[in-house]
Amino acid sequence: MPFIPHTPDDVAGMLAAIGAGSIDALFDEIPAALAVAGLPAIGPGLSEPEVSRLMLERAELDGRPLCFIGAGAYEHHIPAAVWQIATRGEFYSAYTPYQAEASQGTLQLIYEYQSMMASLTGLAFSNASMYDGATAFAEACLMAVRANSRSRSRRVLTTRALSPAYRAVARALLAGQGIELVELPLENGCSSLAALAPLAGTDFAALAIQQPGFLGSPEAVDELTDWAHTQGMLVIGVCNPLLLALLAPPGEWGTAGADIACGEGQPLGIPLSSGGPYFGFLTCRKALVRQMPGRIVGRTVDVDGRPGFTLTLQAREQHIRRSRATSNICTNQGLMVTAATIFMTLLGAEGLRRVAAQCHANTRALVTALTRLPGISLAFDTFCHEAVLRFDRPVAPLLEALAAGGILGGYDLADEYPDLGHALLVCATEMRSAADIDRYAQALGGILQGTTAGRGRRSRS
Amino acid sequence: MPFIPHTPDDVAGMLAAIGAGSIDALFDEIPAALAVAGLPAIGPGLSEPEVSRLMLERAELDGRPLCFIGAGAYEHHIPAAVWQIATRGEFYSAYTPYQAEASQGTLQLIYEYQSMMASLTGLAFSNASMYDGATAFAEACLMAVRANSRSRSRRVLTTRALSPAYRAVARALLAGQGIELVELPLENGCSSLAALAPLAGTDFAALAIQQPGFLGSPEAVDELTDWAHTQGMLVIGVCNPLLLALLAPPGEWGTAGADIACGEGQPLGIPLSSGGPYFGFLTCRKALVRQMPGRIVGRTVDVDGRPGFTLTLQAREQHIRRSRATSNICTNQGLMVTAATIFMTLLGAEGLRRVAAQCHANTRALVTALTRLPGISLAFDTFCHEAVLRFDRPVAPLLEALAAGGILGGYDLADEYPDLGHALLVCATEMRSAADIDRYAQALGGILQGTTAGRGRRSRS
Amino acid sequence: MSGEPLIFEHSRPGRRAPSHAPGACADPVGLPAGLLRTTPPLLPEVTELQAVRHYTRLSQLNFSIDTHFYPLGSCTMKYNPRAANSLAMLPGFLARHPLAPAGNGQGVLACLYELQEMLKAVTGMQGVSLTPMAGAQGEFAGVAMIRAYHAERGDLARRVIIVPDAAHGTNPATATMCGFEVREVPTDPQGDIDLEALRQAVGPDVAGIMLTNPSTLGVFERRITEVAAIVHAAGGLLYYDGANLNAILGRALPATMGFDVVHINLHKTFSTPHGGGGPGAGIVAVGERLEPYLPVPIVGERAGRFVWLTGQDRPRSIGRLSAFMGNTGILLRAYVYMRMLGAEGMRRVSGYAALNANYLMAKLGQAGFEVAYPQRRASHEFIVSLKGIARDTGVTAMDFAKALLDRGFHAPTTYFPLLVPECLLIEPTETESREVLDAFVAALVAIRDQARSDAAAVKAAPLTTPVRRLDDVRAARDLDLAWRGHGMPANGA
Amino acid sequence: MSGEPLIFEHSRPGRRAPSHAPGACADPVGLPAGLLRTTPPLLPEVTELQAVRHYTRLSQLNFSIDTHFYPLGSCTMKYNPRAANSLAMLPGFLARHPLAPAGNGQGVLACLYELQEMLKAVTGMQGVSLTPMAGAQGEFAGVAMIRAYHAERGDLARRVIIVPDAAHGTNPATATMCGFEVREVPTDPQGDIDLEALRQAVGPDVAGIMLTNPSTLGVFERRITEVAAIVHAAGGLLYYDGANLNAILGRALPATMGFDVVHINLHKTFSTPHGGGGPGAGIVAVGERLEPYLPVPIVGERAGRFVWLTGQDRPRSIGRLSAFMGNTGILLRAYVYMRMLGAEGMRRVSGYAALNANYLMAKLGQAGFEVAYPQRRASHEFIVSLKGIARDTGVTAMDFAKALLDRGFHAPTTYFPLLVPECLLIEPTETESREVLDAFVAALVAIRDQARSDAAAVKAAPLTTPVRRLDDVRAARDLDLAWRGHGMPANGA
Ligand SMILES: Cc1ncc(COP(=O)(O)O)c(C=O)c1O
Ligand SMILES: Cc1ncc(COP(=O)(O)O)c(C=O)c1O
């Protein structure tokens, strides 16, 4: 009986104490018509050696291609200490810190996390995490709609330079409450400033912009923020937290700074892992904190006057406020926050800055190498750590050929941005070496010439 | 400065407190003629991402062949919990528990380990570990020579059925003290009982036997033990601790039981890892404990009468007894003992027994499959979890061809046991499936027929 | 501060001990200077040793399953197998980019596909989406599907979701997020839903009902078939909050009970870790009617290869709930656990969870504690009310909770469900031994004895934890949510 | 029992919660029944949760570098980088069988080969063998090589190894294991070896001398060149105990000092973990004269491939010291660490280790503590003698050690080296910050103050550890070294 400690004696003694004849008898309140005898569609249990072998085989099934995809999830080096500490049982197997006195480890760590995120984004307060960057964005929109007392609309102005996936998630999450997203068009890979004028005077609860934009180019965040504020909108900044070591934080955009910042925490020490678990971060100006969704930890004192940490402002949350809560979120992404906090501690401001700068330098090198090939050009001149390349032919077959040679060449923009022509979003993080970039360029050159790359898909350099 | 916390201010302040002008000045007692300015042959430091990439590449360089080698180190399933707990910082980064009050975790664990090893081997007392099975064997011989007051010889009788590596190590370690190993010849893969008679009356301090023998066959431990005892020798049993869940423990051999048991702890949750770190275990009869080398933990009470654990019988050890110590061992294999103790706890007696029985069953299946091939026969009928196969041609070229196909076919006995002809020691632990065994048989069949195995070397089934 | 300073207090300006980042790298070329950061963020400057020591020490301040009995009702804090952790974290799984083509993920997709199939089996449902990232998001997906269903039929008047008064807070909060109003129905004295009140509550404005069965009161809703008939007859759909599935695993199927949609907290029944707050995974399973609306992506199979089904394949889907594919790593852990249990192991889960809960309930009842529904079977959890003791001694459920910490037990859930005064919701789970349960009973008895002899002593608890009772009022009033630097006020910009 | 029962006390007969072993399997066929075990060994029967909880709790009872400052002199308890751990435990490394052909181990052999080369560089020696499994086995290898050297020359009268009185216990013990007699030489008042006594001690019966430099007194042996000349002139060889190499890394080379052979404790200078007792790695490096005798195996290179060199390739070798290849996993950790440091990082190790030691010595001297060699530079460690305080107050070095535990510091090494009364051998290492050192000074001052005002209070320490002072006499007298089952006497068979 894997995981079950009961001896036959235990079972007999316990049933006697209960006054029941068998374990099955404990289910006698289930109406007979509803009772099932088992789960025939589920096979027999596997021992740990058996399941280990199965998973090892599956983990190795697909090789380890060289990855040049970014588009919202990034391969960065994760210090070994991060997960060795985060998976310690005391962090890994605890619940939400409801009993503060028995959870000071988790609580203090979250307080430290909140401090780091507040400082990274240049805003006053952070919550303890959202599910991922996309849901954090949706909750930021909801928060803005609730908080902007000057606006009577249920509309948020956003832009096609903001991640298509984030916009899709926000649409799914906001639909029920009748909140609508309106999108600024693109101009040169960025939100069109020219498109602002016609919108002046229209009632929007908020403007949401992403820095850098999904296509890698920096947005004119100062102009956009100031314009939105003059229009009575709140400003939501969506950011890659790693790049915030290098780029101006939302709290410093324009004259007054953005009001809310959010984004995907994955770059801060979270493995790619096919898409999750990641975590969303969410920070805001002081005045908005009571509209914040999710858990928040505060520092206070105990009866002896010693400092300590506890969940606070719980009156916003579903377990107290129920149908009038700021959100339905309960379980968040605690363990990811644990890892991210250790990651930020190990890297420090200077370490984050270096990683960000190196990503930029590597992507620049990649762009240089690929645009030397015939029929490939850089779409938008200014970029941060990813860039759009324009091709003279459809990208999909090229990506397929690259993948067959063990290279993931980038993110094809054909579906989401057909107006960009044959366009590919590429990214070379600090993990890609000069040799990796060279290998990509060689392979693509070969494919373009009609020859195949001809290298084994598993080797890395 | 990786790993060094000092800020420039710290350095200045600390040098001022010392009254030194620079860090280099702190080395001014090193005569100028001896001082070197650096280590030109050593390259620049690598960042963690760089060294990680290097090691990942090296770890994956050689593929993962299917292994049918045993010969003293065995691939067993290691429950995930074992190393997740053993590498917790509190175990991983502690020193020898000199300060008992600050080391109760390690001390209690060793006490539990000693209890388990004592019970597994059927002897009274265990120490806290030796370096590996081979050095444990050598120390057992030394111990026996010191302890056997009836013997005036510095000779230990052993046998060719005992691991050649262990005998080699013992020779290296005993040479300085003029202790000699005499070897019983083989008969049918086991120690020759017929060879005993001529030795009767010869003075040996001890008889050392391995159960099962290196060639996989069980020794007549009862007869050997009783004979040795009648001759006034002590008896040293060398065992695979995993198999002790199935086989009679040394403490129960013959009428009185062996006096000392030792062996390689690797099968108890220690990864193969190219040969180490493993650990040696050593247990003995109560009367011999003061001749035991190495650390020993005892249970006692504190000043409040609470039970607690501490290093004990330290007067045997080098840091107290110096040149008259029972051994020079100081650092042992503590972390491996931590892992092994968790391993034995998770498996329990029944789990160990099942693993041992499954290894036997798999090796039997392997023998059946391979002896169906032409020119291959089983050398010795009775075997435990490895067996000797006899070939009609040299084994080395076959092993090479198998290795090219991703199969490690066994341990070639040509060097150590040329008298056995073309002989191969094979082992299929519980980790080898029926499909694995089939793959081996197919591949070998193909090679014998002059065709190559033709399977990719990385795939496992 | 529990004796351990903030990580910022270990920091010193100018400390530079990096080994994790590339060497110094110039600022990016080509980016407008105005977009660059001018003052670095306030992150600590410490060595790896300082970081490791700090977070190791912090970890030791926590209670957790790996260190303590943790009978937190509704949360199912049972053992999280270590194999699930290490197998989900195999380098091959961790390295895979979410946007890598499916051809590059057949290993992980095979696991997810089989997980979908197993989840259909344990619920009796016809379709599964793994994407919701926690129970509450699973609820969102379910209610959004109910909404989409009515909307597609043009049945736009259904603006109400019915929720029992004992429901978890996420249920009403979810209904609101989906744009519904909440209508509460009461519980009858036996702990079942009040059928008369339910009949009153349903009508043409009702989109559906959210229920958990066994309910948060720890008892099985015996007239569930009738409940389903009433709601379905009125044109509403039934949502099953699967937080309590542990109690009936392999014993009854939500589909047979009449539910149209269910979420399952994999971090409860299927024992993925809760990580001090998350991540979870709140997969949804649906019957035929709601199948078209499942959130994407879903894993499909085509010609022996696994593929992602997205909005293009499933145009009636309520859409995407995460940027990529939910909490994949958690899904893998649940997959490993389910494969290890197999059919028999799953039935054992509910069997032994019920055995432990009923035993604990019987023992506490015999020891004189007031059990909320003494005539009922406990499910995998049950409620003790300390109303009487609180009245007699002034010692409350909260005081008991704190006193338990001093005795080495995590407290049960307190003050939930809201309708039982001074309640403890106790869920021992199937992975705890009888010895632990007996020790827990002894601790509660000892605390009650102390409450009678020296109430103040109980109210002074905890004494042995890193901090004692915290000033929550001050925490909410003088908000200190972030460290701002040495000598800076707590509140900041 | 520190509050945590023995694992055996968590066990219950009949508990069967296996998930790690294959299903039930019949007893082997063909084995004589008489060879089979009749009563199962007394191993615990517990669930995985019980095991995990028990050993997690036990771990929390330890001090360790990851949780505490651990200034254990001679032991070099500095930070063990976590990357070294995870990289040495990559599945590809762990899975490799030691008897797999070298062609199947080019990755690991490349690391070991480069490690050999780096170790030559840091010692100045010509040959390296990685096989010794700890410092003491490195010593054995070294002295055995010296023995083989003399023996091969027919110089059989050399039966003595000289060892300074301050030497570590392993030095004389090793000499004995190698069949030598030990002759001690004294230390002069400045902490250097007494040259006059050495001249007396050498002679045709002397095989060699074992020294560590800096010595265990924490000072550099300034006249090492003279020492070498004296010993060499008498026909002896010089052995360097590299336990203190951390102090001179990149500053001086044992080869240049005149040593013929050196061992290095990789678990000290090269920061592999000590694991609560081991494993270590005690590699040996030798000059030309001893090169042929190095223990096997050694990693060689042939035509661009790495190979194992064994006894067949090296017939004059002293032989094999482990069944396979020593503590390979530890060697990989040291390799990672050395690659991360590089040349500059290695010099920083000795520089900052010396800075910390000299700073701490200066601060303690200024605070009025009696430093053993105040006129000397400290190496990476130094000695404080509490003789005066012990005389005045009765509070001993042992009492100070225990009182430090209560203040959250592991104690320094006490009562070693034996020749300084009431000594503390203090080694802060380079990875500790100035703040920690200052706090440590403050703690020692506070203990001394308490010793003067209330000696009994210091002698009562520790109070905050899981147990208080233990009865060592009883431990040695009423030997209880193993649990024998419920209700069984401790001593057993
Ligand atoms: C009954 C019930 N429903 C819903 C939830 C919400 O699940 P989650 O925390 O995963 O969002 C919980 C758990 O907290 C619960 O106990
Ligand atoms: C000076 C000195 N020599 C030798 C040794 C023995 O090394 P090991 O413990 O690795 O056997 C030590 C360490 O304990 C030591 O400090």
**Rounded mean pLDDT, D196-209:** 97
CA of A328 to the centre of ligand 1 (A): 10
> At A323, which amino acid appears?
S
Give the whole-angstrom CA distance, residue A111 versus residue A96. Answer: 14
Residue nearest to atom 6 of ligand 2 (CA): D135
Contact criterion met (CB < 8 Å) for C16 and B89: no
Q: What is the ipTM of this complex?
A: 0.96
Interchain CB contacts (distance < 8 Å): B and D: 730
Query: Looking up tokens 């006499």, which residue turns up?
Result: D473
Q: What pLDDT shows up at residue D492?
A: 43
Q: Sign (positive/negative) of CA torsion A345, A351, A356, A358? A: negative
Given a cut of 50, whether residue D1 has pLDDT beyond it is no
Distance from CA of C139 to the nearest CA of A (A): 9
Backbone angles phi, psi at D182, to 5 degrees: -105, 135
Q: Is D32 exposed, middle or buried (0-12, 13-18, 19+ CB in 10 A)?
A: exposed
Q: What is the pLDDT of residues C303-343, one digit of tens each?
A: 999 999 999 999 999 999 999 999 999 999 999 999 999 99
Backbone angles phi, psi at D237, to 5 degrees: -115, 160
Three-state DSSP string of chain A:
CCCCCCCHHHHHHHHHHHCCCCCHHHHCCCCHHHECCCCCCCCECCCHHHHHHHHHHHHHCCCCCEECCCCCCCCCCCCHHHHHHHCCHHHHCCCCCCCHHHEHHHHHHHHHHHHHHHHHHCCCEECCCECCHHHHHHHHHHHHHHHCCCCCCCEEEEECCCCHHHHHHHHHHHHHHCCEEEEECEECCEECCCCCHHHCCCCCCEEEEEECCCCCCCCCHHHHHHHHHHCCCEEEEEECCCHHHCECCHHHCCCCCCCEEEEECCCCCCCCHHHCCCCEEEEECHHHHHHCCCCCEEEEEECCCCEEEEECCHHHCHHHHHHHCCCCCCCCCHHHHHHHHHHHHHHHHHHHHHHHHHHHHHHHHHHHHHHCCCCEEECCCCCCCCEEEEECCCCHHHHHHHHHCCEECCEECCCCCHHHCCEEEECCCCCCCHHHHHHHHHHHHHHHCCCCCCCCCCCCC
Q: How many C-beta atoms lie closer than 10 Å to residue C53's C-beta?
A: 24
Per-residue confidence at C2, pLDDT binned at 50, 70, 90?
A: very low
A159-182 burial: b if 16+ Cβ within 10 Å, else e = bbbbbbbbbbbbbbbbbbbebebe
Contact criterion met (CB < 8 Å) for C52 and D66: yes
CB C470 within 8 A of CB A300: yes
Q: What pLDDT shows up at residue C1?
A: 36
Q: Does D159 touch chain B (CB under 8 A)?
A: no
Q: Which ligand sits closest to the CA of D76? A: 2
pTM: 0.97
Q: Which ligand sits closest to the CA of D268? A: 2
Percent of chain C with pLDDT over 90: 92
The mean-pLDDT minimum among B252-261, C19-28, D291-300 falls in C19-28
Q: Helices (H), strands (E): how many in chain D?
A: 15, 13
Give the whole-angstrom CA distance, residue B354 versus residue B349. Answer: 9
Residue nearest to atom 7 of ligand 2 (CA): D135
Q: What pLDDT shows up at residue A456?
A: 41
Who among A49, A77, A80 is closest to B77 (CB)?
A: A49
- H or E stretch at D283: strand D282-286
Q: What is the pLDDT of residues D300-343, one digit of tens each?
A: 999 999 999 999 999 999 999 999 999 999 999 999 999 999 99
CA of A279 to the centre of ligand 1 (A): 18
Q: What pLDDT shows up at residue C29?
A: 78
Distance from CA of A271 to the nearest CA of B (A): 14
Residue D72: strand pairing partners: D426
Distance of alpha carbon D42 from its chain centroid, rounded? 33
Give the whole-angstrom CA distance, residue C119 versus residue C130. Answer: 9
Q: What pLDDT shows up at residue D493?
A: 42
CB D168 within 8 A of CB D191: no
Give the whole-angstrom CA distance, residue A407 versus residue A458. Answer: 10
C212 to A274, C216, C239: CA distances (angstroms): 31, 7, 8
Tell me which chain B residues have a C-beta less than 8 angstroms from the C-beta of D471: 300-303
Tell me which chain A residues have a C-beta less than 8 angstroms from the C-beta of B431: 49, 53
Tokens for B353, please give them: 């027994």
Domains D84-340 and D348-475 share a fold: no
Q: Which CATH number fits domain A66-76+348-455: 3.30.700.30, 3.90.1150.10, 2.70.70.10, 3.30.930.10?
A: 3.90.1150.10
Who among A6, A105, A349 is closest to C41 (CB)?
A: A349
CA Rg value for chain C: 25
Q: Which runs of consecutive H residues, i.e. helices, occur in D61-134? A: 82-88, 91-94, 106-123
Sheet holding D423-426, edge to edge: D370-371, D382-385, D423-426, D413-414
D298-334 burial: b if 16+ Cβ within 10 Å, else e = bbbeeeeebbbbeeeebeebbbbbbbbbbbbbbbbbb
CB B77 within 8 A of CB A49: yes
Backbone angles phi, psi at D263, to 5 degrees: -110, 155
CB D349 within 8 A of CB D430: yes
Nearest to D263 by CA among D310, D220, D330, D210: D210
Distance from CA of A43 to the nearest CA of C (A): 5
Tell me which chain D residues have a C-beta less than 8 angstroms from the C-beta of C435: 10, 12
**Rounded mean pLDDT, B382-395:** 96
C460 to A99, C228, C457: CA distances (angstroms): 15, 48, 5
Q: What pLDDT shows up at residue C487?
A: 59
Domain-wise residue ranges, chain A: 66-76+348-455, 80-343
What do you get for the CA distance between the two ends of chain D, in Å? 24
Half-sphere exposure for B366 (CA within 13 Å, toward CB): 34
Tokens for D185, please give them: 């030489």
Which ligand 2 atom sits closest to the C-alpha of B328? 11
Assigned CATH topology for domain C84-340: Aspartate Aminotransferase; domain 2 (3.40.640)
Who among D21, D22, D48 is closest to A3 (CB)?
A: D48
CB A278 within 8 A of CB A266: yes
Q: What pLDDT shows up at residue C492?
A: 42
Query: Looking up tokens 């002590």, which residue turns up?
Result: B234
Helix axes A8-18, C328-366, angle to 10 degrees: 50
Backbone angles phi, psi at B206, to 5 degrees: -160, 160
CB D429 within 8 A of CB D87: no
Distance from CA of C67 to the nearest CA of D (A): 5
Residues in contact with C318: Cβ distance below 8 Å, sequence separation at least 6, in sequence order: A172, A175, C141, C144, C145, C148, C293, C294, C295
A204 to A180, A184, D293: CA distances (angstroms): 10, 13, 84
Best of B331, B332, B333, B335 for a ligand 2 pocket test (most atoms within 8 Å of beta carbon): B331
Nearest to D258 by CA among A240, B33, A185: B33
Domain D348-475 has CATH 3.40.50.300: no
Per-residue confidence at B63, pLDDT binned at 50, 70, 90?
A: confident
Interface of A with B (CB under 8 A): 48-49, 52-53, 57, 77, 79-80, 84, 87-88, 430-431, 433, 460-461
Nearest to C289 by CA among C308, C311, C316: C316
Q: Which ligand sits closest to the CA of C135? A: 1
Residues in contact with D196: Cβ distance below 8 Å, sequence separation at least 6, in sequence order: none
Per-residue confidence at D6, pLDDT binned at 50, 70, 90?
A: very high
Give the whole-angstrom CA distance, residue A180 versus residue A153. Answer: 9
**Rounded mean pLDDT, B200-210:** 97
Q: What is the pLDDT along chain A (461 residues), one digit of tens a residue?
A: 889 999 999 999 999 999 999 999 999 999 999 999 999 999 999 999 999 999 999 999 988 899 999 999 999 999 999 999 999 999 999 999 999 999 999 999 999 999 999 999 999 999 999 999 999 999 999 999 999 989 998 999 999 999 999 999 999 999 999 999 999 999 999 999 999 999 999 999 999 999 999 999 999 999 999 999 999 999 999 999 999 999 999 999 999 999 999 999 999 999 999 999 999 999 999 999 999 999 999 999 999 999 999 999 888 888 888 888 889 999 999 999 999 999 999 999 999 999 999 999 999 999 999 999 999 999 999 999 999 999 999 999 999 999 999 999 999 999 999 999 999 999 999 999 999 999 999 999 999 998 444 434 444 44
Give the whole-angstrom CA distance, residue D68 versus residue B47. Answer: 26
CB < 8 Å from C in window 148-167 of A: 163, 165-166
Contact criterion met (CB < 8 Å) for A47 and D21: yes
Given a cut of 60, whether residue D111 has pLDDT beyond it is yes
Q: What is the pLDDT of residues D431-475, one digit of tens each?
A: 999 999 999 999 999 999 999 999 999 999 999 999 999 999 999
**Rounded mean pLDDT, C219-227:** 96
Per-residue confidence at C491, pLDDT binned at 50, 70, 90?
A: very low
Contact criterion met (CB < 8 Å) for A7 and D49: no
Contact criterion met (CB < 8 Å) for C14 and B9: yes
Length of chain D: 493
Assigned CATH topology for domain A80-343: Aspartate Aminotransferase; domain 2 (3.40.640)
Instruction: Check pocket membership of D134 for ligand 2, CB cut-off 6 A.
Output: yes
Contact criterion met (CB < 8 Å) for A461 and B57: yes
Q: What is the pLDDT of residues B12-47, one digit of tens each?
A: 999 999 999 999 999 999 999 999 999 999 999 999
Contact criterion met (CB < 8 Å) for A49 and B431: yes
Q: Does C47 touch chain B (CB under 8 A)?
A: yes
CB C263 within 8 A of CB C282: yes
Residue B237: strand pairing partners: B209, B261
Instruction: Check pocket membership of D136 for ligand 2, CB cut-off 6 A.
Output: yes
Give the whole-angstrom CA distance, residue D347 versus residue A371. Answer: 45
Backbone angles phi, psi at D289, to 5 degrees: -60, -35
Q: What pLDDT shows up at residue C488?
A: 54
CB B153 within 8 A of CB B205: yes
Q: What is the mean pLDDT of chain C?
A: 95
Give the whole-angstrom CA distance, residue D174 versus residue D190. Answer: 27
Domain-wise residue ranges, chain D: 84-340, 348-475
Q: What pLDDT shows up at residue B456?
A: 40
Name the 3-class secondary structure at C390.
Answer: helix
**Rounded mean pLDDT, D213-230:** 96
Nearest to D6 by CA among B445, B357, B111, B186: B111
Q: Which residues line ligand 1 (CB under 6 A)?
A: A 330-331; C 74, 134-136, 168, 170, 212, 216, 241, 243, 265, 280, 282
**Rounded mean pLDDT, C29-33:** 85
